Amino acid sequence: MTAHRIARLFYGTVVQPSSLTRLEIARHAIVGVGHDGRVAFVRRNASLLQLEETLQHCHTDQVVRLKDSQFLLPGFVDTHIHASQYANAGNGLDLQLLDWLNEYTFPEEARFQDPAYAAQIYRRVVTHTLRTGTTCAAYFATIHKEATEKLVDVMRDMGQRGWVGKVCMNQNTPAWYRETPEQSVADTRHMIDHGDHVDVYHTAGLVEACVTPRFAPHCTADSMRKLGELAREEGARTAQSDPARGRTPIQSHLSENHGEIAWVRQLFPEASSYTDVYAQAGLLSPRTVMAHCVHLSQDERDMLRTSGTAVSHCAHSNFNIRSGVLNVRRLLDEGIKVSLGTDMSGGHSASMLDSIRGAIAASRMICIMEHERPRAQLSITETVYLATLGGIEAMGLQDRVGSLLTVGHEFDALLRSSSADPIGSAPATASGITPRKWYLDMLEKFLMCGDDRNILHVWVRGRRVAGAGDASA
Ligand code: GUN
Ligand code: FE
């Protein structure tokens, strides 16, 4: 092995989803992470002697030896969260979507006209999500450009990866929370240019500006078409300096609630469906994430599949404001990309552990509702994939991040540990249980019962950014 200068060397168990149905549990793994935040080398099934040999051949600032009850997991990816709704979390959820937006959401979002208020809330959101293991998040901000730039700054400072969307809203909203169609396009363009200037060491490309029409009812057809064009143009421009990118991310809401769907039909009579409104505007792409997608027709699902558009499944939000129960199995069977989102504050929690539990519960409800169809149930292997690598693939980042066992990948991870409260800790050990089964049980317990006390450390691109454990690790 050649001599490496590395920042951290890990020795222990790595739990790594590699596809929807494959979960590797690499025991006694050595993972070296370089000063550039990337995985420098990997060795599986290494003995203590081999660990000693490795340490002799590299200069490492720090060695992290995991206990048997600990494991590394790729960080969670929240593909749909409203950073600007943090103060509302848990409130107003007896209403349905359109009333909830008017009565609770818009008045709170309008407060972000004040950049100081925005900076304060955004710091709290990012602190909270990092602590609960979200290493990458696709955020909606508000219509305000200056406030939205605060969210970029906070993510850059605190070291969270993700997308930041300046929300575009230019029709059918209260006069006190609306912009013009021209402003939607000009301010989105400004955000994308701002994002290009983020090239400080350790943060290069960590945060991307995202084209974010809030949803079709709030945007004119012309403004959505211009946003689609902007995404294409800017994507082609960034491709010249960064071929791995080449596309500007896009996010919105789609087919969440029956009242919303009927409204879209009325507003856009020339479109064949809600999904077609976005398709005609050029907003469906391999880097587009659409939240909810609960009530799509076969034609609409086909449009998502052929365009490479990903779905963000936000189960708790769908329960809370009674939008529906998404059948994830059908989307997966049809080859549509699926990921998980918290949709805070439609979802009451900003923790991906809750989003995971919601997705599992939704899949079980589909089993019950659709006459005991057991295949609808998501397994732990499938769910942990959706919450990690599924999100990375939805956001089109799979060439650079998502695998702790792939040399060259940026190291975004969390270290799961037992805590004083055994409910989120190690499962009861039955005799004869295989090590793989023991780790699977521990993973299931973490996903179902764990909380931030079980997350000792969180790293994004090799930098420790949060965790309940000793910050010097
Ligand atoms: N549709 C348009 N805006 C929103 C929002 O803020 N939350 C949810 N859940 N759906 C939306
Ligand atoms: Fe949402």
Judge whether residue 202 has pLDDT over 90: no
Judge whether residue 380 has pLDDT over 90: yes
**Dist. CA 397–CA 402, nearest whole Å:** 8
For residues 118 and 36, membership in a common domain is answered with: no
> Which ligand sits nearest to residue 320's alpha carbon?
1
Tell me if 343 CB under 6 Å of ligand 1. Answer: yes
For residues 458 and 359, membership in a common domain is answered with: no
pLDDT given at position 121:
98
How many A from CA of 257 to the centre of ligand 1? 10
Judge whether residue 308 has pLDDT over 70: yes
The single-letter code of the amino acid at 148 is T
pLDDT given at position 193:
81
Judge whether residue 194 has pLDDT over 90: no
**Dist. CA 412–CA 415, nearest whole Å:** 10
Judge whether residue 203 has pLDDT over 70: no
DSSP string, 216-271: GGGS-HHHHHHHHHHHHHHHHHHHHH-TTT-S--EEEEES--HHHHHHHHHH-TTS
Tell me if 346 CB under 6 Å of ligand 1. Answer: yes
Tell me if 38 CB under 6 Å of ligand 1. Answer: no
Helix H or strand E encompassing 211: strand 207-213
| Residue span of the structural domain in which 462 resides | 4-73+402-466
The single-letter code of the amino acid at 368 is I
For residues 152 and 301, membership in a common domain is answered with: yes
Q: Write out 276-324 in H/E/C secondary structure.
A: HHHHHCCCCCCCEEEEECCCCCHHHHHHHHHHCCEEEECHHHHHHCCCC
pLDDT given at position 431:
72
pLDDT given at position 429:
66
Judge whether residue 285 has pLDDT over 60: yes
Is the Cα dihedral 24, 72, 62, 397 positive or negative? positive
Confidence of residue 236 (pLDDT cuts 50, 70, 90): confident
Judge whether residue 453 has pLDDT over 80: yes
Query: How confident is the model over 440-468, as a mean pLDDT?
Result: 95
What is the 8-class DSSP label of residue 401? B
Helix H or strand E encompassing 73: strand 71-74
Q: What is the CA radius of gyration of the chain?
A: 22
For residues 123 and 252, membership in a common domain is answered with: yes
Tell me if 170 CB under 6 Å of ligand 1. Answer: no
**Dist. CA 111–CA 129, nearest whole Å:** 22
Q: How high does pLDDT run on average in the chain?
A: 93
For residues 118 and 190, membership in a common domain is answered with: yes
For residues 22 and 91, membership in a common domain is answered with: no
289 within a domain of the structure (yes/no) = yes
**CB atoms closer than 10 angstroms to residue 289:** 25
**Dist. CA 296–CA 261, nearest whole Å:** 10
Contact 120, 145 (CB under 8 A): no
471 within a domain of the structure (yes/no) = no
Residues forming a β-bridge with 163:
138, 208
316 within a domain of the structure (yes/no) = yes
Look up the CATH number of the domain holding residue 311: 3.20.20.140
For residues 263 and 340, membership in a common domain is answered with: yes
Please report, in angstroms and rounded to a whole number, the separation of the first and last CA atoms in the chain: 25
Taking CA atoms only, the protein residue closest to ligand 1 atom 11 is 253
For residues 372 and 280, membership in a common domain is answered with: yes
> Which ligand sits nearest to residue 257's alpha carbon?
1
> Which ligand sits nearest to residue 318's alpha carbon?
1
Last residue within a domain, chosen from 361, 394, 427 = 394
Give the chain's domain count.
Answer: 2
Tell me if 105 CB under 6 Å of ligand 1. Answer: yes
pLDDT given at position 472:
79
As separate numbers, helices (DSSP H) first and strands (DSSP E) second, the chain gives 16, 16
> Which ligand sits nearest to residue 260's alpha carbon?
1
Tell me if 215 CB under 6 Å of ligand 1. Answer: yes
The single-letter code of the amino acid at 456 is L
Contact 358, 405 (CB under 8 A): no
238 within a domain of the structure (yes/no) = yes
Question: Residue 171 corresponds to which tokens in the numbers above?
Answer: 């029709």
**Dist. CA 392–CA 401, nearest whole Å:** 7
User: Which of 82, 142, 294 to probe ligand 1 with, by most ligand atoms within 8 A of CB?
Assistant: 82
Strands 4-17 and 23-34: antiparallel
For residues 180 and 35, membership in a common domain is answered with: no
Last residue within a domain, chosen from 348, 370, 394 = 394
142 within a domain of the structure (yes/no) = yes
Confidence of residue 235 (pLDDT cuts 50, 70, 90): confident
For residues 156 and 280, membership in a common domain is answered with: yes
Look up the CATH number of the domain holding residue 31: 2.30.40.10
Query: Dihedral (C-alpha) 70, 74, 75, 79: value to the nearest 10 degrees?
Result: -140
Mean pLDDT check: name the lowest of 108-122, 175-189, 372-386: 372-386
Tell me if 341 CB under 6 Å of ligand 1. Answer: no
473 within a domain of the structure (yes/no) = no
Confidence of residue 426 (pLDDT cuts 50, 70, 90): low
Contact 131, 353 (CB under 8 A): no
**Dist. CA 83–CA 242, nearest whole Å:** 28
Contact 336, 307 (CB under 8 A): no
Phi/psi at 113 (5° precision):
-60, -25
Phi/psi at 203 (5° precision):
-125, 5
pLDDT given at position 2:
56
For residues 292 and 320, membership in a common domain is answered with: yes
How far from chain centre, in Å, is Cα 228?
A: 22
Tokens 């989120």, residue located = 424
234 within a domain of the structure (yes/no) = yes
How many A from CA of 291 to the centre of ligand 2? 6
pLDDT given at position 205:
81
For residues 416 and 353, membership in a common domain is answered with: no
**CB atoms closer than 10 angstroms to residue 444:** 18
Tokens 């002697």, residue located = 49
**CB atoms closer than 10 angstroms to residue 1:** 12
pLDDT digits (tens, 9 = 90+) for 26-76: 999 999 999 999 999 999 999 999 999 999 999 999 999 999 999 999 999
Last residue within a domain, chosen from 372, 394, 416 = 394
17 within a domain of the structure (yes/no) = yes
Judge whether residue 421 has pLDDT over 70: no
How many A from CA of 82 to the centre of ligand 2? 6
Give the rounded percent of residues in the chain with a pLDDT score beyond 90: 87
**Dist. CA 164–CA 83, nearest whole Å:** 9
